[in-house]
Each structure stands twice: as structure tokens, then as C-alpha cells.
Amino acid sequence: MGAGSRYDNEVLSALRRGDRFRSCQEVHALIADARGGPARPPSLSTVYRTLHRLAREGEVDAIHSEEGERLYRRCATSSHHHLLCRACGRAREVPHAREVRAVLARVERLTGFAELSYSLEFSGVCPDCD
């Protein structure tokens, strides 16, 4: 199966450093940093390709920043929402909100739309930044 990249592990472990969504270029820089020695890091192209594939495969979550940049994060497999600190950027996962089920049913009934899906994201100021 897997048409995996030789850098999957380094990309994923860069994403695990710190609780935040990271851009492709940040991931690239993190990998370069993690290599103290003369070892050559993957090219930016490869990091773009790897993140793109990992997102398609569902290994990482992807969102768009307010500025349109694409950000990635390694997340739990269970259904969850994201909560981002507007001050420091830290991200938390919060458990799926059951209430959404009723809202979806109502929207479906009200509008006649089918195959409804949704996206629910939170932001706030984390305890450290407050």
C-alpha cells in the first residue's frame, strides 16, 4: 500500500513539537533545526508534498489561517473540535459536541438540504495568556 515518503516520521514528529497548527514552512524549519549536524533536511517541495498527502490520508488535520495560509496538526483520531488561543496560537482539542446533532436535524428539516455536514471551531484566550 503506502506510497510513503522517507520523511513522514520527521514531518509528523515536527508537528508533535508544541500544541499548535503549523505551516509547511514552519515544519520545514523545525526539521532543519532538529538536525544539529551537517545532515541535509528535506527540500521545501518534499515537505509540501508530504503534508499534502498526510492530510489527504487523514493522518493530519488541515485548516486555513485567517490569512489564508494552510496549517497542519497531528490530532487524535476521535471526533473533536479545535480551540485556538488567539494570543499564543496554542491549540486544544475539545470533545465533539453532541448538541450539533439536533442542530443538523433542524437545519435539514428547515432547508431541505441533504447530506449535511458542518464545521465548528472555537477560539479564545488560554489560561496562560489570560
Taking CB under 7 A as the binding criterion, the range among 14-22, 31-39, 48-56, 102-110 that sits at the site for DNA is 48-56
Q: Is 76 in the site for its own copies (CB under 8 A)?
A: no
Q: Is 4 in the site for its own copies (CB under 8 A)?
A: no
Q: Phi and psi at residue 23, in whole multiples of 5°? A: -80, 165
Q: Which of 61, 72, 84, 85 binds Mn ion (CB under 5 A)?
A: 61
Collapsing DSSP to helix, strand or coil, 48 comes out as helix
Residue burial 54-72, b: 16+ Cβ < 10 Å; e: rest = beeeebbbeeeeeeeeebb
Pick one of Mn ion, DNA, Zn ion, none as the site partner of residue 40 (Cβ within 5 to 8 A by kind): DNA
* Residues placed in the known binding site for Zn(2+): 85, 88, 126, 129
Taking CB under 7 A as the binding criterion, the range among 21-29, 87-95, 104-112, 122-130 that sits at the site for DNA is 21-29
Pairwise CA distance, residues 27 & 80, whole Å: 23
